[in-house]
């Protein structure tokens, strides 16, 4: 129920869904706001192909960049942009509000 309510609120108020929020959260909490794609897939429980699709959507919005790591062209990182960090911070407020609304009145 909680995930459904958060997903609905994010779509309604932020224009994106819970899976995108999960990616933004992982990047926002990573050192230097950057993660290797394999680690990002593990943290968000996405298959590499599904993650690649989602990152493409988010890259078009200007929320992140995918960059090669050093001289190794096979290793890529996702790097959160300022615009992505702003989207995350707005969505975090929505997520916290939903959690408070669902639990505040039910827990003493």
Q: What is the largest CA-CA distance in the chain?
A: 55
Greater pLDDT, 44 or 74: 44
Q: Where are the domains of the chain?
A: 2-103
SS3 content of the chain, % helix, strand, coil (to 5): 65, 15, 20
Sign of CA dihedral 54, 65, 84, 100: positive
Rounded CA gap, 57 and 105, in Å? 37
Instruction: Say what the pTM is.
Output: 0.90
- What confidence tens digit (pLDDT) does each residue in 76-93 have? 899 999 999 999 999 999
Q: How confident is the model at residue 108 (pLDDT cuts 50, 70, 90)?
A: low
Would the pLDDT of 107 be above 90?
no
HSE toward the beta carbon, residue 12, CA cutoff 13 A: 9
Share of the chain above pLDDT 70, in %: 93
* Assigned architecture for domain 2-103: Orthogonal Bundle (1.10)
pLDDT reported for residue 67: 87
Residue 36, helix vs strand vs coil: strand
Question: 70 with 81: CB under 8 angstroms?
Answer: no
């Amino acid at each position: 129920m909680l995930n459904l309510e958060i997903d609905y609120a994010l779509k309604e108020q932020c224009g994106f869904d819970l899976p995108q929020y999960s990616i933004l959260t992982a990047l926002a909490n990573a050192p230097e706001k950057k993660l290797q794609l394999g680690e990002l897939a593990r943290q968000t429980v996405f298959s590499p192909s599904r993650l690649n699709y989602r990152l493409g959507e988010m890259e078009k919005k200007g929320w992140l960049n995918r960059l090669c790591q050093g001289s190794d062209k096979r290793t890529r990182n996702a790097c959160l942009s300022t615009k992505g960090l702003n989207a995350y911070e707005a969505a975090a407020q929505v997520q916290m509000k939903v959690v408070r609304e669902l639990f505040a009145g039910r827990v003493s």
